[in-house]
């Protein structure tokens, strides 16, 4: 399962009660995206929640693809956001705190940690392949990013 399948709405119960219907916990589930961003739901939310939802939409759902938000870009942008937090030196728990402050979503620190470990392993295999291939530029870039992620 991708890390984006493990990003949850912080006040999911409250949101469900404000919308007066059930809402999946996962922010990237199609039903949640539909409900919060495509439908009439958003004005029923209290102001603090609505602001965070709008920030999330502006930062991750802003592409012009015809099948937005199902084009894969929102998930990719969120992954980039996580990697940027790591590059700023944040560990898994601090990352979760920041995403909650920014967008009222959360993840389990252990899931963020596995995601970062997987990213490091992916970069290691990129480095190995680039080395075999003699692609020095790619190898250097992958190594640099990996070291940043490893902290
Ligand atoms: Zn897109």
pLDDT at 105: 96
Q: 59 alpha carbon to ligand 1 midpoint, in Å?
A: 12
Q: 57 alpha carbon to ligand 1 midpoint, in Å?
A: 12
Cβ pair 55, 102 in contact under 8 A = yes
pLDDT at 40: 64
Which band of pLDDT confidence, cut at 50, 70 and 90, is reported for residue 19? confident
Q: Number of C-alpha atoms within 13 angstroms, CB side, residue 20?
A: 4
Over residues 69-96, mean pLDDT: 94
Q: What is the pLDDT of residues 88-106, one digit of tens each?
A: 999 999 999 999 999 999 9
Domain range list for the chain: 3-107, 113-150
SS3 105: strand
């Amino acid at each position: 399962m991708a890390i984006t399948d493990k990003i949850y709405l912080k006040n999911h119960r409250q949101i469900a009660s404000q919308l007066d219907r059930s809402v999946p916990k996962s922010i990237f589930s199609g039903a949640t995206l539909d409900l919060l961003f495509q439908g009439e739901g958003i004005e029923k939310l209290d102001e603090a929640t609505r602001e965070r939802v709008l920030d999330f939409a502006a930062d991750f759902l802003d592409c012009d693809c015809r099948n937005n938000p199902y084009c894969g870009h929102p998930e990719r942008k969120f992954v980039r956001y996580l990697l940027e937090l790591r590059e700023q030196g944040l560990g898994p728990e601090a990352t979760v705190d920041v995403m909650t402050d920014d967008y009222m979503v959360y993840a389990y620190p252990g899931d963020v940690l596995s995601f970062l470990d997987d990213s490091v392993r992916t970069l290691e295999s990129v480095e190995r392949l680039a080395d075999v291939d003699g692609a020095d530029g790619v190898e250097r870039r992958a190594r640099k990013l990996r070291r940043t992620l490893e902290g």
